[in-house]
A = this chain, B = another copy of it.
């Protein structure tokens, strides 16, 4: 089954916005065994959008169309569809009610520009599983058309929860597609390539994908087949082969990320953690608390940006700061231990470093970061050197720190420093 993706918006053809929508949709459709033959982006332009729709109806079996569904004047997808497909705009009662109750709930007025969003081409089916996001679908001349909002999170939500399940129902003859995603940290793309050279000849028909996702690397394993149990067994076999070779670098699988994994481990062990963050400025706490239920294991922390805060709230001694400096193993160990005690936690995690672009020296260049971990009767610290700009150094530091927790609780060794 082949089709295309059309993304609509002046922000796309002017290069203002990177088109994450087509990329995401293409990846998800491909993984589900559907073939995307073309991706097209056009501006909020009547003629260009109509032309794209006409071509689709001639050449494809399905299309995902994103953008132009909002309330402003440049949102005219519905109007164009109505004219191009000869389906007059009708008010969709289901949609109107959803809009009304949402507007009421927030204590606002139903203005004409909001009401506009309830007008849809005749024959449309509203796609809105729970009101969190809203699009519509149409079937015209055997072609399935899915119109989704341009807002990435909403589009993504609808693709996963409505569009893909619907397409798989419509195209019943598809083979089963099994997919695994393995997420790695601490191993470079060339190093991963070497591993896969070793694997050659043992991987059967499994298709691999490599996706750098700074500072992580993601690997996908895909396999199609009529026989679902056989496909799954084969994927199991390859996955364990990969885990045998580079297991400790795999920090998560599927939709999980490092904070989910660390959260589950802490919860399972009934342990509490506290953080003392210098160069990350709160990012580690932010990531830990992105997980629902994290209040069960996250005690809190200190953003010890200045030296004063390190002394006052992370129990670092002025002596240590004077002798070794804020960016040192000694300081990070005292921070980890201090925050653990101050927050009455089982684990104290600390980072201190130079995120740049200013503040580097010959001895301690930008990217120098110390990570420390204090537990009941043990204490660890390692000095790392990270590369990149300020945000990349912060991100990499938070990732390394969170991965430390995973490795510590797993009994694995930490990644080597410098």
Q: Which of A16, A293, A358 has the most CB of B within 10 A?
A: A16
Q: How far is the CA of A41 from the CA of B19 in the complex (A)?
A: 12
**Contact status A111-B194, CB under 8 Å:** yes
A29 within 8 A of B: yes
- Sort A-B residue pairs by CB-CB distance and give the 10 closest, nearest first: A15-B27, A281-B289, A282-B285, A282-B282, A15-B26, A300-B309, A300-B305, A39-B41, A282-B286, A301-B303
Please report which residues of chain A, range 352-408, place their CB below 8 angstroms from some CB of chain B when the two chains form the complex: 355-359, 387, 389-391, 394
Please report which residues of chain A, range 9-38, place their CB below 8 angstroms from some CB of chain B when the two chains form the complex: 10-20, 22-31, 36-38
Q: How far is the CA of A210 from the CA of B40 in the complex (A)?
A: 21
**B residues near A240, Cβ cutoff 8 Å:** none
A312/B342 contact (C-beta < 8 A), A37-B43, A194-B113, A305-B298 known? yes
A243 within 8 A of B: no
A202 within 8 A of B: no
A290 within 8 A of B: yes
**B residues near A205, Cβ cutoff 8 Å:** none
**B residues near A286, Cβ cutoff 8 Å:** 280-283, 286, 394
Q: Which of A11, A209, A281, A304 has the most CB of B within 10 A?
A: A281
Nearest Cβ in chain B — how far from A285, in angstroms? 3
**Contact status A357-B292, CB under 8 Å:** yes
Interface size on A, residues (CB 8 A): 101
**Contact status A305-B299, CB under 8 Å:** yes
Nearest Cβ in chain B — how far from A227, in angstroms? 22
Nearest Cβ in chain B — how far from A11, in angstroms? 5
Q: How far is the CA of A402 from the CA of B137 in the complex (A)?
A: 40
Q: How far is the CA of A290 from the CA of B48 in the complex (A)?
A: 40
**Contact status B209-A16, CB under 8 Å:** yes
**B residues near A114, Cβ cutoff 8 Å:** 190
**Contact status B39-A40, CB under 8 Å:** yes
A212 within 8 A of B: yes
Q: How far is the CA of A108 from the CA of B415 in the complex (A)?
A: 15
**Contact status A17-B305, CB under 8 Å:** no
Nearest Cβ in chain B — how far from A398, in angstroms? 9
- Interchain CB contact (< 8 A) of A38 among B19, B42, B71, B290: B42
Please report which residues of chain A, range 71-94, place their CB below 8 angstroms from some CB of chain B when the two chains form the complex: 71-74
A-B contact pairs, 24 of them (CB 8 A): A12-B39, A13-B37, A15-B31, A16-B27, A16-B220, A37-B45, A38-B41, A38-B42, A40-B41, A72-B193, A72-B196, A73-B193, A74-B208, A106-B387, A275-B282, A281-B285, A285-B285, A290-B390, A292-B356, A299-B306, A300-B303, A300-B304, A309-B343, A312-B342
Q: A301 — nearest CB in chain B belongs to which residue? A: B303
Q: A392 — nearest CB in chain B belongs to which residue? A: B153
A324 within 8 A of B: no
**B residues near A211, Cβ cutoff 8 Å:** 11, 16-17
**B residues near A389, Cβ cutoff 8 Å:** 132
**B residues near A71, Cβ cutoff 8 Å:** 189-190, 193
Q: Beta-carbon contacts of A172-192 to B below 8 Å, as 1s and 0s?
A: 000000000000000011101
Nearest Cβ in chain B — how far from A382, in angstroms? 16
**B residues near A190, Cβ cutoff 8 Å:** 71, 111, 113-114
